[in-house]
Amino acid sequence: MSRKIIAAGNWKMNKTAKEAVEFVEALKGRVADADAEVVVGVPFVCLPGVVEAAKGSNIKVAAQNMHWEESGAFTGEVSGPMLSELGVDYVIIGHSERRQYFGETDETVNKKAHAAFKYGLKPIICVGESLTQREQGITAELVRYQVKIALLGLSAEQVKETVIAYEPIWAIGTGKTATNEQAEEVCGIIRVCVKELYGEDVAETVRIQYGGSVNAANAAQLFGMPNIDGGLVGGASLKLDDFEKIAKHNK
């Protein structure tokens, strides 16, 4: 089955609202002929302007987080209905930085995945191991556990619409990149796990990204691996030339 490559930028805490709009306006023409699905994951304050700037283009917009409740006394949080009303397409859930710095757990990732679908958003669910966990040889067990908890209670049709991003924590922002073989191995483990849970049809449909120092130089080889369906791109997604090359990796 042919899965559409997804090149998603995770801008993290970068760019003001004005800078974000200027970037997307400049990006639109550059990626108009990209075969990959192009997504920009921008800070909350940038979402209204970026959604407007992306209208009529092939660029989809992602939020970087959301709360699982519809509303309530959750100071500083943003809900599904708020994102949905803005016209956001995707939401990144469970990024390792959220887990490490803000107490995100496998259980809250699962709650957020359910909330995303409730409000018409597609989740990009992040999983991955630390350097210690890799060195201890528990990568497969850990990633399988994260996937199982994240998807708990989702329907087969919902999982087909989910994007799973394998992000080895040791390779995020460090300049270290898993080898093509290392990345492919774990993305393959994730696909087998989904197959065990939901069957072959779902496993062959769900898109699995690699994230961890993806750049213009390594994207084509990474995206060419059988089980890697694109990338969740950090620093390189903030640079027009680099992100264009990643989105058009096969041209």
Contact 31, 38 (CB under 8 A): yes
Measured CA to CA, the distance from residue 193 to residue 189 in angstroms comes to 6
Burial of 233 (0-12, 13-18, 19+ CB in 10 A): buried
What are the residue numbers of the active site? Answer: 95, 167
Token pair listed for 101? 């710095």
Q: Using alpha carbons, select from 34, 102, 35 the residue that is nearest to residue 65.
A: 102
| Phi, psi dihedral angles at 231 (to 5 degrees) | -140, 150
12 is in an annotated binding site: yes
237 is in an annotated binding site: no
Q: Is 2 annotated as a binding residue?
A: no
The verdict on whether residue 68 carries a ligand-binding annotation is: no
Whether residue 212 is annotated as binding a ligand: the answer is no
72 appears as a binding residue in the annotation: no
CB-based contact 116:93 (threshold 8 Å): yes
Amino acid identity, residue 73? A
Q: Is 10 annotated as a binding residue?
A: yes
Which residues are part of a known binding site? 10-12, 173, 213, 234-235
Please enumerate, by residue number, every residue annotated as part of a binding site for substrate: 10-12, 173, 213, 234-235
